[in-house]
Amino acid sequence: MPPSSSADVKPPSAGWIAGIGQRLGGGGVFFFFFFFFLPENARGGGGREGRGRGGGRPPPFRYDVTVRASLWVSVVVVAVLFGWGAWQRRWIADDGLIVLRTVRNLLAGNGPVFNAGERVEANTSTVWTYLVYLGALVGGSVRLEYVVLVLALALSVLGVALAMLGTGRLYAPSLQGRRALILPAGALVYIAVPPARDFATSGLENGLVLAYLGLLWWMMVCWSQRRPDTTERTTGTFDAALAFVAGLSVLVRPELALVGVLALVMMLIATRSWRRRVLIVVAGGLLPVGYQIFRMGYYGLLVPNTAIAKDATGSKWSQGLLYLANFNQPYLLWAPAVLLIGLAAVVWVSRGRPRPRRVVVTEQGWLARMVQSPAAVVAFIVVSGLLQAVYWVRQGGDFMHGRVLLAPLFMLLMPVAVIPVVPPDGTRMARGAGYLFVGATVLLWAAVAGWSLWAANSKGMGADATRVTASGIVDERRFYAQATGHAHPLTAADYLDYPRMRAILRTIDNTPDGALLLPSGNYDQWDVVPALPPPPDAGPGYRGPHTVFFTNLGMTGMNLGLDVRVIDQIGLANPLAAHTARIEDGRIGHDKNLFPDWAIAEGPFLKERPFIPGYIDEEWVRQAQEALTCPATDAMLNAVRAPMGPRRFLSNLVHSYQLTKYRIDRVPLYDLIRCGLPVPEPKEAPYTGMPATGP
């Protein structure tokens, strides 16, 4: 029997050393490490070998106290560092405020919409929208911005902690009865990257994504290490919970379906009965399929409106590669990648021969056993991370520095979120070689920690951080901090100091009969297109319809009442703009641009001079007005504006595919030609007494 399992009681020497460490107080840290690296036969071993209990059942994982303590210390330290770092960079993005406008409409009874009376799903993450809504109900009178701030920060920290715990669990089989120190590695790399701390409190769904991925990773690791003799009832409950979490992926973010579906496929392959497969399919698909039916019937689309607006299935490889380089260059991300690959290799080799465990024969075939294994789960999360990265590079990335590559980075770092430093015990490899691997592990870990310290204090994009250059990518947090004059822009009131914002409030107050507001060249004023005259029976308190046509939907929507329609030329909240074609050379994330002529044409506004600004072409407005009568366009708009009832729901459900694929041309004349409609005759110029063509 190996020396490490020959005794359950420590020899006197081990207790004497530990006692000295306790008496020396602070100096006990030295003795802790000294005692940790003593050979196991000098310490009395790490406990009994894992003998089978009760009918040959393999015992549960038994961690040494140093393993448990160091893992939890690592988790707490990283969580505190991440939380503190994120708080130092706290803010809520303009896009984060978009969600809050939808929540306000939910609270007001208008439904999950951005503008009352117009069913547009302006938020990508369904779970995030309803989680914030639930937080608002619980928070009561607490400002929505603070509800979002707390939720985002808490979920971000929770996600990192779950990832570390899942990886710690991954090492459990090779650490049974052995002394080991668990040190943070990949987790340090993630929290060191400045965008990771920026988007931990941005009001976007990044924190939710981290918590979701961390939970899925931890559950998948537990699933891969399930003991073969576990009762059918216990495994059924866990499988249902895991399938539910995996199926939730598409509602956390649509592209995460690639992760969730892969997890479900692995579970279906590994299960032993058709009854269990049915359970997995029902638990994993009930909620996402149910919501998909609701989305198709209520919104008339197969995907969120944001996916239509940003052409989520499009391809911009060159821009995506530029985005990847923009994320890598300030932090030299290739350096920790090389170090962590080396660290993973050293840790894998230094595990040595695993301790023998009693084998329990199961009904699983070789494929099922291979799929339901820790190695397969590691491959699953790495492949998922690579797929997410490739998807975003293909799609073109984003205009916010680093944002959409944070989730792929997080997944790729999960298998080495923490690493064990294991002293040799002489039973798995020679002691000399063992100490050599310990030294290599410590050296590589120190290099990772050093890089993390350097990257955490990086200046990021430097001078280009707040300038919209040819790449179209900016450091969004620094951009809005500079533009608003607030180091931590958190509330909608903070964004009133953004150019044009206060002028919106003044202009709406000055146009009680209603108007369309268009951004002018002067940041202190708005161009106004008056609404049609009030009806004859309008009382003294009549307030006409207002529409604001502006890119920044979040700050605008949150600073205005829900009776004001807020739309954009990009299409996040504007069904017309969303259904235009993507501009190939447009700024990423902003590569749709609907002309304001359409907003004048479709609204209850005066459409002739002198009521429209000089840069608006009156003929274009007339052509856009005619193009809106195109039957397909009218059907698309009715899908989101007509009163909701059973017939409308079923019609949207049946035609959702065609409505999702439908596109218009942003140039009114070309759209008339596309739809086969006649072009309106040019309006005759009013008589002025002068020749129309000059002398």
Distance CA 179, CA 67 (A): 7
Domain hosting 202: range is 65-353+367-463
Residues 399-431 pLDDT 10s: 999 999 999 999 999 999 999 988 776 555 555
**Same structural domain for residues 629 and 512?**
yes
Query: pLDDT by residue (tens digit) across 171-217?
Result: 888 777 778 899 999 999 999 999 999 999 999 999 999 999 999 99
Q: Could you tell me if 458 and 514 lie in one domain? A: no
Dihedral sign (CA 527, 532, 533, 535): negative
Residue 191 CA to residue 186 CA, distance in Å, equals 9
Query: What is the pLDDT confidence band of residue 675, given thresholds at 50, 70 and 90?
Result: very high
Residue 472 forms part of a structural domain = no
| Collapsed DSSP state (helix, strand, coil) of residue 345 | helix
Q: Could you tell me the end-to-end alpha-carbon distance of the chain, in angstroms, rounded to an integer? A: 113
User: Which of 70, 327, 86 minimizes the C-alpha distance to 181?
Assistant: 70
For 335-361, what is the mean pLDDT?
73
Within a domain: residue 86? Answer: yes
Residue with tokens 């590994």: 270
429-435-441-444 Cα dihedral, nearest 10 degrees: -140
pLDDT at 664: 96
In a domain, 7, yes or no: no
Is residue 450 domain-shared with residue 534, that is, in the same domain?
no
- Domain presence at residue 508: yes
| 18 belongs to a structural domain | no
Residues 382 and 529 in one domain: no
Contact between residue 267 and residue 222 where contact means Cβ atoms under 8 Å apart: no
444 and 512 co-located in one domain: no
Are residues 496 and 616 located together in one domain of the fold?
A: yes
* One domain, residues 524 and 647: yes
On whether residue 27 sits in a domain, the answer given is: no
504 and 459 within one domain: no
pLDDT category, 685, cuts 50, 70, 90?
low
Least confident span in 232-241, 253-262, 380-389: 232-241
**Does 194 share its domain with 316?**
yes
Place 694 in a pLDDT band, splitting at 50, 70 and 90.
Answer: very low
pLDDT, tens digit (0-9, with 9 covering 90-100), for 84-138: 999 999 999 999 999 999 999 999 999 999 999 999 999 999 999 999 999 999 9
Q: How confident is the model at residue 436 (pLDDT cuts 50, 70, 90)?
A: confident
pLDDT at 57 over 80: no
For 566-586, write each residue's pLDDT tens digit.
Answer: 999 999 999 999 999 988 888
The answer to the question of residue 480 being in a domain is: no
> What pLDDT is recorded for position 226?
82
In a domain, 135, yes or no: yes
Q: Report pTM.
A: 0.88
Residue 311's pLDDT is 87
- What's the number of domains the chain is made of? 2
What pLDDT, in 10s, does the model give residues 264-306? 999 999 988 899 999 999 999 999 999 999 999 999 999 999 9
- Whether 178 and 320 map to the same domain: the answer is yes
The number of angstroms, rounded, from the C-alpha of 272 to the middle of its chain's C-alpha atoms is 34
Distance of CA 608 to the CA centre of its chain: 45
Residue type present at position 37: F
Same domain (yes/no): 458, 495: no
125 CB-side CA count, 13 A:
24
What pLDDT, on a 0 to 100 scale, did the predictor assign at position 14? Answer: 36
d(CA 572, CA 246): 27
Answer yes or no: do 455 and 586 share one domain.
no
Q: In this structure, what DSSP letter does residue 655 have?
A: H
Query: For residue 348, is pLDDT > 90?
Result: no
